[in-house]
């Protein structure tokens, strides 16, 4: 489900931006949370590092056959490589 929340804020001294409490709560951003900034077509997107990882996993998951166990495939490939050495 996509939530749309739009607000304004101001860039302060040193390029700092205050993220309003409602947005921090919605996005689970707490003091010390690592964030990822993405710029695309002059639009800045900010998300927590955890959200960015989840997004990347979802993107990759589309290309993995259902039931595939990549870790097992990787270990089998490594064993084959080791046997060739």
Quote the percentage of the chain above a pLDDT of 70: 98
Residues 12, 9: Cα–Cα separation, whole Å: 9
Mean pLDDT of the chain: 90
Largest CA distance in the chain: 61
pTM of the model: 0.60
Per-residue pLDDT of 37-71, as tens digits, reads 999 999 999 999 999 999 999 998 888 888 888 88
Distances (CA, A) of 58 to 21, 37, 45, 73, 85: 28, 19, 18, 20, 36
For residue 2, what pLDDT is reported?
Answer: 67
For residue 11, what pLDDT is reported?
Answer: 94
- Given a cut of 90, whether residue 1 has pLDDT beyond it is no
Residue 1, token pair as written in the block: 């489900």
Residue 21, token pair as written in the block: 């409490």
Query: Distance from first CA to last CA of the chain, Å, rounded?
Result: 50
């Amino acid at each position: 489900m996509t939530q749309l929340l739009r607000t304004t804020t101001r860039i302060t001294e040193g390029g700092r931006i205050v993220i309003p409490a409602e947005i921090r709560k919605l996005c689970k951003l707490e003091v010390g949370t690592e964030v990822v900034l993405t710029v695309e077509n002059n639009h800045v997107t900010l998300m927590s590092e955890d959200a960015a990882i989840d997004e990347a996993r979802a993107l990759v998951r589309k290309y993995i056959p259902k039931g595939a166990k990549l870790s097992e495939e990787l270990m089998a490939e490594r064993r084959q490589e080791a046997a060739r050495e």
